Structure 1
């Protein structure tokens, strides 16, 4: 797609956000709307020195600044205020993300209207984060534990849902008392910079939230920085492995939400209309650009042909177009490299013997990086298309014979992020859910998340959990405190 820089709407200009201030940058990069091809924003292309400055600001705020002196209740009040501001500006932030990554406005608006709930949930948890009194095995000691913030967090966020996936980290981290340096994807940095403006309005102290935009090398600089206490990353598994290896050099804690190749399992007794709708939502929602995408559709052989026919018929009716149009059901792929990656995977699948039932081509008439929603049948689980994450609107349909066969195929992957089971047999639903090696399993549903429910993966889909009570524990350390009760001299050479 040709990129237009000489016409179109006014171009927005942004600075870095460090220590509560907008900081100009000598180098800049353009952000192009993946639907129109127009340059719509100019953002900083930061350097390692900017990472150093941002980490120093976060370090000051954590170690000695006003943030470190706030009570947990006061922190919660600020987080709730931030949620109120985001709720007020949801429409603005949704339009920004549509411009940045081409996702549907109606989806982004729903997402940004839901994001405040994450802030409210963790704001309430801030002063509920308590330790324990530990029963002592010695009469002269009182022992208790404290949960304390881990420190300065380096957050690296992806381009598919930059706001939501940042808040997965930000809300629990702030509630725990941490400070942040964020490096958003170079493809979608603007919503993060806009969110930074709202921190000031909410009354957060300087240095609590810092944003450095730029190329991917900045993420590497952030991970290896000795001033970072924890890295929180969402993105590709290969990148997550490199981050874990680099962070290990400083024994920096990590949480990694990585890729998936999630199985959507349909048994013969399922309601096929409902299952077909769930399969389509699971892979074509967000143009298939979600880590939890149900990219493998496992169908029991006795209903395979019937379900495939229904899915293909509905897939051919999916309306592609302007993400801002309410009638549009699927937008473009978010950027040019991803567009080419998706098209290459379709070619590989066909060469390996998969049958193209529909889609499989771009759509030059629409402009942008459109890939027609694609359904592939005759897929076996050993094909690359069934084992590697495509991150696009490509569904692989795989037959299975019985329950054991379905579980075997579903678990035969290096990933373990999500899965779904479609059946009207409640016993089977629970039985299969318990045996699937995945962090989230839906029964007769797909692609549902909640601020109150842990989310994360097994195997190469990641480390740690986001959302729910589990998430705030990812941003704390446990300290044990022993209090001697008698004040009497003790034998210095005797333990305890």
Structure 2
């Protein structure tokens, strides 16, 4: 990366940046997308020239083994990718004790903060992709049918176990009932069952802990006056951790389902009356991963997007930018620090080094010792020649420079 500066040609300076691999990247990946998430991170780390130690979730250990086999069979040299299997608490600490050159963690906020504290002990750079409480703002001129379909998909894809899933909806009161009717209708039509079957729209949750949290959030909403338009209970006929896709009406920010990450199949809806209110509600969160704005007015949507405190905003869609290799992925506030994907994510696995070469014809540079009033005046004149406005000002600066360095009688 070549650098440019007005003074470089005059001073015969060449300067540029090189991006070097950091060394060994420790990647700790989650269970909810156990192939896609670590693969994008591993590939970026390897392409940047690093070795990788991957710690997959112990809930999806077989997928971690499959990733290791895939790279071995592709011809990756031995030792460049290690798969570390075991509990997160034990191996997470062991990884930090080994002092990798970079750590990338995708998971919960509490664990992310613990890892960041551990990384700080040895100043290990760390990228954190943590939770989300992603707002979905529906303006009066939105395509209501499309917005309703997107809200249902965004809330219930992977049973809501997605960091960028639609976790809270804000709909303008002028179109709220029409939007709600369509959302409830589309939610009731979802087919819950075995996720390996092509006719299934939504599968189970990962564990008893997850379904217990969903139940807690729904119970809290009920107790605070919310209406459960559809869903709201476990599905006992299948066995396992199945929960009904649940639409929560009359939601407000006193409810856990609007403030804490649910990570389950719930869709709380709250009405608003003005754009400023909608933006304020969207920003009233500890999280800032993604958001979406729904309107036919693209210019207005972009202005609203700039006001939302988040890492990603989509207009008339949701979740999709994770699939764009060119788009950076990551958040602000409790949603994490740093970025994955895109050139920005690639550079997270590098250390930037500046290399500058000076081919000076002087025996010593003018800013070196000894100092004098003439040097001070000359350097001041040099800055005027370079940066002041107008040809007369620049010419005066050049003359003063030459006089002070006794290059002009």
Q: TM-score, normalised by structure 1?
A: 0.70
Structure 1 gaps, min length 5: 1-130
CA separation in 2, counterparts of 1:307 and 1:163? 35
The structural deviation recorded for 1:494 is 5.0
1:76-225 matches, within 5 Å, as: 131-133=1-3, 135=5, 139=11, 141-225=13-97
The Cα of 1:204 is off from its aligned counterpart by 1.5
Shift of 1:357: 1.3
Q: How does 1:410-489 map to 2 (within 5 A)?
A: 410-449=282-321, 450-485=324-359
Helix, strand or coil for the counterpart of 1:251? coil
The verdict on how the C-alpha distance between 1:226 and 1:484 changes in structure 2, with shifts beyond 3 A counting, is farther
**Contact 1:187–1:335 (Cα < 8 Å) also in 2:** no
Give the match for residue 186 of structure 2: 314
Looking at structure 1, the residues matched to 362 and 81 of structure 2 have their Cα atoms a distance apart, in angstroms, of 47
The Cα offsets for residues 304-352 of structure 1, whole Å up to 9 and x where unpaired, read as: 1221121112211210111111110000001222122222221122122
Distance in 2, matches of 1:307 and 1:444, equals 15
Q: Deviations over 1:150-195 (max 9, x none)?
A: 1111100001001111023112111111111111111112112111
Aligned: 1:235 with 2:102: no
Who is 1:27 aligned against?
Answer: none
With over 3 angstroms needed to count, the CA separation of the structure-2 counterparts of 1:181 and 1:487, relative to structure 1, is farther
Alpha carbons of structure 1 residues 487 and 335: separation in structure 2 relative to 1, 3 Å: farther
Q: 2:130 matched to 1:258?
A: yes
- 1:328 and 2:214 aligned: no
**Deviates most, 187-196 or 250-259:** 187-196
Q: 1:388 aligns with which of 231, 254, 260?
A: 260
Cα distance in 2 between the residues matched to 1:487 and 1:161: 60
Q: What is the alpha-carbon distance in structure 2 between the residues aligned to residue 140 and residue 379 of structure 1?
A: 65
Structure 1 residue 383: Cα displacement: 2.0
Indicate if the aligned counterparts of 1:437 and 1:458 stay in contact, CA closer than 8 A: yes
| Distance in 2 of aligned mates of 1:143 and 1:408 | 45
**Runs of 5+ in structure 2 lacking a partner?**
370-409
C-alpha contact 2:99 2:122 (8 A) present in aligned 1: no
Deviation of 1:241 after TM superposition, in Å, equals: 1.1
Q: Secondary structure at the match of 2:100?
A: coil
Deviation of 1:486 after TM superposition, in Å, equals: 6.3
Maintained 8 Å contact 2:176/2:271 = yes
Instruction: Pick the structure with greater CA Rg.
Output: 2
Q: 1:372 maps to which residue?
A: 244
RMSD over aligned CA atoms reads: 2.1
- Conservation of the 8 A alpha-carbon contact between 2:11 and 2:360: no
TM-score (norm 2): 0.85
Q: Is the 8 A contact 1:278 1:446 kept in 2?
A: yes
Query: How many Å separate the matches in 2 of 1:233 and 1:294?
Result: 22
Residue 275 of structure 1 corresponds to 147
Distance in structure 1 (CA, Å) of the matches to 2:201 and 2:40: 26
Aligned pairs (5 A) from 1:7-46: none
Residues in 2 aligned to 1:247 and 1:224: alpha-carbon distance in whole angstroms:
7
